[in-house]
Amino acid sequence: MPAGTFISRPGMARDMAGHFCPRCKTLLPPDRSRCPHCKEPSGQTAVRERGPVLDPSAPGLFPYTPRDGQITIVNTIREALASGRHLVMESGTGTGKTICALSGALEHAFERKKKVLYLTRTISQSDQVMKELRNISRKRPVFGLPVLGRGKSCLLMRSFGEGDAISPGAMSRMCEDMKRRAGKREKGGCPYYANLLASDDSMFLGYARRDNPTAEEFDVFCQGTGSCPYEARKLIMSEADVLVLPYIHMLSSDIRKSLFERLQLSADDFVVVVDEAHNLIDAARDEESFSLWVSELDGVEAEAKQYGRAWLAKGVDVNRLTSTLRDIIQDAANSQCEGVLEARLGRRFLEGRIREELGLSDEELDMLTSNLRNLGETILEKRVKDGDNPMSATLKLATTLEDWFRASDARFLKTVSASGGGGLIASCLEPKTTLEFLRQCSGVVHMSGTLQPLQQYVDVLDLPRDTVQRIFPSPFPPENRLVLYADDVNPGMREMRADPTMKKRICDRIVGLCNSTTRNTMVFFRSYEMLKSMRPVLEREIPRNLFWEESRSRDLAEAVQRFKTGRNGVFFTVMGGKVAEGLDFPGEELSLAIIVGLPYPPPSLVSEELKARFDKKYGFGKGWDYTSLAPALRKTQQAIGRLIRMETDRGAAVILDSRASRYEQQLGATRTRDPVAEVRRFFAHERG
């Protein structure tokens, strides 16, 4: 049986008998530290994870006995918001950035009758916010509501198993149609919305005010009443003091506009907290980027076959358009991507080729895309009416073509890719929507445990000149953490190609370190490809419980749970992956981190373009610092940060990369010739 593989054994059901969650009474497996339903800590772990001691005498809304520096952070947040300025802050492990941000932002908001919009990247981060709000509520009642999009909370889509496959626009149209039918008690209406209409709004509001539930808890409550969680949130969100929102609710202009209209908010009515802010820039670029792949044209042709031939312009029907687009994309991929996966396209490349191939003027091309959109909307309406999957490939193609024609070279890099049969990609370089929104806000807190260099963040987001920048270091004892780097190996791609022995030497280092201890260990690779290439040797040479993060693993949550609750485990993952950021491994859940190579981003046309722009705008050399060095150091610090999550934690990190010598100060690392011996001494000293 492969290492890290588990099967149920006879009698396991009997072993589980009597283990119930103290909060929701769900039956618990004996090795679970938290309830899989409501996330409440269980057993001995509950005692350890209850966290800071509640202290009614603490200043302001801060609910705990404050650690050194925490009230300073709260006051810094209050002062920045009071002056209407942006605050960009790095808040190290143990500073309690979530509770500090909530306390400071709420004290400011309550005085001015404002709302707090708290942006998170993941649902697990929103769960932590709700936990802290429950404790703040012991000092002063506060109502927080975690908001999810339709795709995450629509019970009907969950029953279909199609929530992630349907575009937000298509889902919105389907939802509005089914709500209309439910309101008129017509066939095909949404049963969950019908139940909501028959329910008392105060039931949902009372529950949310009283319990400050997590997103999952609120969904479960609504499901128990047979009502739609998405619509229930919309009914009560205007009453909330704190709205915990995914990034997309602020990054998407359409979603943000709809939200603000429902809440009747203007720029002076709220303050914003951006958690894990180092992710915001890439998330904003991703939100405004888009693509068109040859494979997507098959769906358009299938719709033309199903719904009949339709003319878009003189002599041009849907099939002629898709055939022309397929030829244009594949010809560009074949002629321009020789020896590479991606190539830059010239200005107005696609518009020019379509006009040339189809014999259209600019006005006729505009009419073609308008007719294509009308056709797509008609198809979507028919599909919704007939109860079919509420998607239209034709409408998606029309939207993509319109976006492509509008996308300026000043903000987008347009390329052709040879991957996946060929495709066109418009990569956003300057996220205009996000920048405009942030400039309108009267106060924003941007925070992360790894945000340095702060000036880079300010520059790239083009924040105001009076933005406040602060660094709050971890208050935990520095002797509890050992960070080393080995200068005899270099896992860079160029170095590994030049030195055939490098891969074996790196493997030997990993094996030696893993076999030097029985403490839970995590090995962070710079890429999935490197992890995969070294896996056979590591499986053979390391006789411990081994766990692996695959790029498409469906069992990751279970593997992480097994690793956390067991001992003598080694978890192999990648920097910037799901495990390397956002998960806590307190106490003995993780003691040793092995970092295999500084994770410089791979070269790409987008990174080269950004590098050139930053060099021109901020000075030569800033381009590489901003596009390569800063992301690599942040990911490395995030991996190291998995070690120390509590004041009593101790942990060691070893960076297997000689290039770390250039960044000793930023990483807090020292050189070692014998990492195995130093790691053993560190843990032996703990026993002494």
State the helix-helix crossing angle for 675-687 and 502-514, rounded to 10 degrees. 10
Pure H helices in 551-643 = 556-565, 605-618, 622-624, 630-641
- Cα–Cα distances in Å, from 369 out to 115, 306, 314, 346, 632? 41, 20, 13, 21, 42
Q: How far apart are alpha carbons 164 and 387 in whole angstroms?
A: 18
Give the closest residue to 170 by CA, choosing from 363, 392, 361.
392
Q: How far apart are alpha carbons 470 and 468 in whole angstroms?
A: 7
Q: State the residue for tokens 């992956």.
A: 577
Task: Please say if the pLDDT value at position 525 is more than 90.
Answer: yes
| CA R_g for the chain | 27
CB atoms within 10 A of CB 488: 12
Q: Are 403 and 352 in contact (CB under 8 A)?
A: no
Query: How long, in residues, is the chain?
Result: 688
Q: Are 70-158+202-287+435-472 and 478-687 equal in CATH topology?
A: yes
Q: Summarize pLDDT for 322-341 with one digit per residue, the tens.
A: 999 999 999 999 999 988 89
- Cα–Cα distances in Å, from 371 out to 61, 310, 394, 400, 402? 57, 9, 11, 14, 12
pLDDT at 93: 86
**Buried/exposed code over 245-279 (b: 16+ C-beta within 10 A; e: otherwise):** bbbbbbbbeebbeebbeebebeeebbbbbbbbbbb
pLDDT at 155: 81
Task: Please say if the pLDDT value at position 9 is more than 90.
Answer: no
Q: Are 64 and 54 in contact (CB under 8 A)?
A: yes
Strands (DSSP E) found in 92-201: 115-120, 144-146
Beta bridge partners of 311: 317
Domain map of the chain by residue range? 1-49, 70-158+202-287+435-472, 288-428, 478-687
Q: What is the CATH number of domain 70-158+202-287+435-472?
A: 3.40.50.300
- Kindly indicate the confidence band of residue 47, based on its pLDDT and cuts at 50, 70 and 90: very low
Architecture of domain 288-428: Orthogonal Bundle (1.10)
- Kindly indicate the confidence band of residue 544, based on its pLDDT and cuts at 50, 70 and 90: very high
pLDDT at 167: 62
Q: Residue 316: enclosing H or E segment and its boundaries? A: strand 316-317
From the candidate CATH numbers 3.40.50.300, 3.40.47.10, 3.40.50.1860, 3.20.20.70, the one assigned to the domain spanning 478-687: 3.40.50.300
Mean pLDDT throughout 296-322? 93
pLDDT at 576: 77
